[in-house]
Amino acid sequence: MKLAGLLVMPAGFFLAIAALVLFPGSNAAARASFVLCGLAVEGLGLAVAVRGHMEARGESRP
Amino acid sequence: MIPNPPPVLPDATFVLVLVLLALAPLAIAGVAIINTGLGRSRSAAQSLLGSLAIVAVTAIVFALVGSAFAGTTGGTSHVFHLAGKPWNWLGAGPIFLTGLRSAPAQSQPQSQLALLFEFLAVALAALIPWGSGADRLRLTAGCAVAAILAAFVFPLLAHWVWAGGWLSQLGFNFSLGSGFLDPAGAATIHVLGGLSALAVVWITGPRKGKFPQGGFATAMPGHNAVYILFGSFVALAGWLAFNLAGAILWLHAPLTALPVTAINTLLSASGALAATFTVTRFRFGKPDASLCANGWLAGLVSSSAAAAVVSPLQALIVGIVAGVLTPLLIEVLELAVAIDDPSGAITVHAAGGLWGLIAAGVFAPQSGQLPGQLLAQLVGIAALLGLILPLLYLLFWLLNRLIPFRVDPDGERIGMDLHELGGGAYPEFVIHRDDSYR
- Provide the residue type at B96 as one letter: F
Query: pLDDT of B313-356, one tens digit each?
Result: 999 999 999 999 999 999 999 999 989 999 999 999 999 999 99
Q: B281 in a domain, yes or no?
A: yes
B325: domain range? 15-427
Domain of B253, CATH number, reads 1.10.3430.10
Within-domain flag for B3: no
Distance from CA of B302 to the nearest CA of A (A): 20
DSSP B273-323: HHHHHHHHHHHHSS--HHHHHHHHHHHHHHHHHHTTTS-HHHHHHHHHHHH
pTM, two decimals, is 0.95
Distance (Å) from the alpha carbon of A37 to chain B's nearest alpha carbon: 10
Structural domain includes residue B215:
yes
Whether B10 maps to a domain, the answer reads: no
- In chain A, how many domains are there? 1
Q: Cβ contact (<8 Å) for A50 and B82?
A: no
Using one digit for the tens of pLDDT, what is the confidence trace for B63-107?
999 999 999 888 889 999 988 899 999 999 888 888 776 655 555
Asked if residue B1 belongs to a domain, the reply is no
- Residue B1's pLDDT is 45
pLDDT level of residue B370 (50, 70, 90 thresholds): low
Dist. CA B191–CA B353, nearest whole Å = 5
Q: For residue B406, list its beta bridge partners.
A: B137
Residues in chain B whose Cβ is within 8 Å of chain A: 82-83, 85, 170, 174-176, 202, 205-206, 208-209, 211-214, 337-339, 368-372, 375, 378-379, 381-383, 385-387, 389-390, 393-394
Mutation choice for B interface testing from A8, A57, A59 by most B CBs within 10 A: A57
Chain A residue with minimum CA distance to B370: A28
Q: Is the pLDDT of residue B41 over 90?
A: yes
Task: Tell me the three-class secondary structure of A1-62, residue by residue.
Answer: CHHHHHHHHHHHHHHHHHHHHHCCCCCHHHHHHHHHHHHHHHHHHHHHHHHHHHHHHHHHCC
Chain A interface disruption, residue of B207, B375, B394, B436, most A CBs within 10 A: B375
Do the domain assignments include residue B243? yes
Report how many domains make up chain B.
1
Q: Would the CB atoms of A16 and B371 count as touching at under 8 Å?
A: no
Q: Which residues, 6 or more positions from B125, have their beta carbon under 8 angstroms from its beta carbon?
A: B149, B154, B185, B188, B189, B190, B192, B193, B196
**ipTM of the complex as predicted:** 0.95
Residue B2 forms part of a structural domain: no
Q: Which residues of B touch A21 (CB under 8 A)?
A: 82-83, 85
Classify B159 as helix, strand or coil.
Answer: helix
For residue B67, being part of any structural domain is answered with yes
Domain assignment of residue A35, given as a range? 2-60
Q: Do A35 and B378 touch (CB under 8 A)?
A: yes
